[in-house]
Amino acid sequence: MPWDDAAAIELLSGPGSEPSTGGAAEEARPQDVVLRYEYRGAQVVEARGDYDLHSLGPLADALKAATDTHPKVILDASGVTFADSSFLNLMILVHRTGKLRVAAPSASVRRLCAITGVDDVLQIRDTLSDAVAMER
């Protein structure tokens, strides 16, 4: 299933605000980092820091770019220190593309997934290597 641009715009825009552009105007804090790189034939998006509606833009942009260009996308969530429902919604949206795997989620991401039951839906693995090796 392709990326749903309408859902992404809705997810990344708050009530009465403009959609996120992922640019310098974002309210991302200096400790929030998104890296994207190749690893064993997969595209890895590594997220570090806190993610809420106001800081999610760069992560959403990286995941969209990865799903547009690669058949296997891994979100390395080991460095996520805080995640709210907008982060959860983003993972579900990207999961709908059929390409997402979540690797090494931090305790806060694991808890969020467990509380909401999403851990039964998402393809979550303990390590990056396990996520890459996983067959569809």
Could you list the mean pLDDT of each consecutive 10-residue stretch along the chain, which spans 136 residues?
Answer: 50 41 45 89 96 95 96 97 96 95 98 96 96 84
Q: What is the pLDDT of residue 85?
A: 96
Please tell me the number of Cα atoms within 13 Å of 123 on its side-chain side.
Answer: 20
CA 136 remoteness from chain centre:
19
Q: What is the pLDDT of residue 22?
A: 41
Listed in sequence order, the DSSP H helices in 1-136 are: 5-12, 57-69, 85-95, 107-116, 128-133
Q: What is the pLDDT of residue 26?
A: 44
Tokens 């641009």 appear where? Answer: 5
CA 63 remoteness from chain centre:
6
Q: What is the pLDDT of residue 94?
A: 96
Q: What is the pLDDT of residue 135?
A: 74
Question: Are the C-beta atoms of 11 and 103 separated by less than 8 Å?
Answer: no
